[in-house]
Structure 1
Amino acid sequence: MTALSDRPQMLPEEFEEFARLSAHAAEGVRLEFINGKLRAKPVPDGAHGRIIEWLTRICIQGRPELWLYDQGLKIQTYRGGHARPDGTLAPSGAFVGQGEWATTEQVLMVVEVTSYDSDSDTDTDQRDRVEKPRAYAEANLPIYLLIDRDSCEVTIHSEPDGVRYERLQTLPFGRTVALPEPVNLTLDTEPLKDWIR
């Protein structure tokens, strides 16, 4: 018997329509549908955007054939879902013709930068540190990079097995981070120290 809390709040198709209709009404949040639950993600602040800019520049310099997109993804687990990572690394042109919610076949890495939630850190903890790693691993996305502004750490999740990431490496800001295959980039995370509270 399925517990009531395990049931999806809506179908993925219903979420797409709800998100489309709510796009203008929901100022200050971005909607996602993870593990059958509707989630509101705070709109990024200036330092959050600066971190994505920093990472985009590194990706362009090291792998010019790739692009770090702001792209919604269809994360198809047993309950379906839609996630909007802060960054989605894929070949240039990978999402042409796919619309707001794209498939994940060409995705090499997804990136999340923790937000400073106005209510509490519980939402960020649940969303970025628990739900997203599971959903991204279930979708077999090769790498999930978490830039955690609360703990001042970078966590590289890799080697998804369809349930979880089998390899996790966490390093403090300031260390050199090697992103494994298929990304193959090195990050000097020293600048991240300047973009935290």
Structure 2
Amino acid sequence: MTVMAERASSQLSVDMFERIAEFVFREDETVRLEFINGRIGLKKVTNGNHGELIMWLVRRCMESRPELNLNPTQGLQVEAYRKGRALPDAVLTPVGHFAGQGDWADPDGVLMAVEVTSYDSDTHNRDRVEKPRGYAEAGIPVYLLIDREYLSVVVHSHPDPKEGYRVVHTVKFGEKVTLPDPVGIELDTEELRRWAD
């Protein structure tokens, strides 16, 4: 569940946000904060099905591309998107890419950002509108959205900093989909039906 608090970007600096986020995580490891579109988002720990979907994808990526890591904990600086700080559900990069970069890494070199929808009131704006725009503006080649509400996998590619992702391909759970270059992984999404709730 995500609770959003409106903040004007002039009222809260990115440095102040990072200090607040670090403090909150030290005090309560069940929540993480992100700062997108001038708003602070509180991301609570997800349910077991959400985690199973991410781990399924981690295994598929490791099997297909062992030279890559799918990191489920790395935050990104999405500077082009109003000096935001995004917490993707997972980020695909070459092994060792984030070494020494801290909690909020530069998105340069990220091959794919992944989000799995939650069942909360902000999912549509966060995962289907704001994050694809932010990831495209940051130049991340592929954005993968596993949409549990619509039982679909949405692959965004060919980012344009001004227009967002120019190619969006949707398949229903149960179909095969190929994640475009530079990812180059084929997924059989049949198993995703088990964790749609």
Is this a same-fold pair by TM over 0.5?
yes
Partner residue, 2:44: 42
Q: Secondary structure at the match of 1:20?
A: helix
Partner residue, 1:60: 62
Question: More strand by proportion, 1 or 2?
Answer: 2
Provide the rounded CA distance (Å) in 2 between the counterparts of 1:128 and 1:29.
18
TM-score (norm 2): 0.91
Is the 8 Å Cα contact of residues 24 and 32 (structure 2) preserved in structure 1? no
Q: CA deviation at 1:143?
A: 0.5
Partner residue, 1:115: 118
Percent identity at matched positions? 51
Q: Secondary structure at the match of 2:178?
A: strand
Partner amino acid for 1:188? D
Partner residue, 2:165: 165
For each residue in 1:54-92, what CA deviation from the matched residue of structure 2 results, as whole angstroms up to 9, or x when unmatched?
101111111000000120111111520101100000000
Q: How many residues align?
A: 190
Provide the rounded CA distance (Å) in 2 between the counterparts of 1:178 and 1:190.
14
36-45 or 146-155, larger mean C-alpha shift: 36-45
Is the 8 Å Cα contact of residues 117 and 148 (structure 2) preserved in structure 1? yes
Provide the rounded CA distance (Å) in 2 between the counterparts of 1:56 and 1:17.
30
Q: CA deviation at 1:6?
A: 6.5
Provide the rounded CA distance (Å) in 1 between the counterparts of 2:82 and 2:92.
24
Partner residue, 1:189: 189
Q: Secondary structure at the match of 2:69?
A: strand
Provide the rounded CA distance (Å) in 1 between the counterparts of 2:81 and 2:128.
20
1:74 pairs with one of 73, 77, 89: 77
Is the 8 Å Cα contact of residues 116 and 148 (structure 2) preserved in structure 1? yes
Is the 8 Å Cα contact of residues 25 and 31 (structure 2) preserved in structure 1? no
Q: CA deviation at 1:45?
A: 1.0
Is the 8 Å Cα contact of residues 62 and 69 (structure 2) preserved in structure 1? yes
Partner amino acid for 1:74? Q
Partner residue, 2:24: 22
Instruction: Give unmatched runs, 5+ long, in structure 2.
Output: 1-5
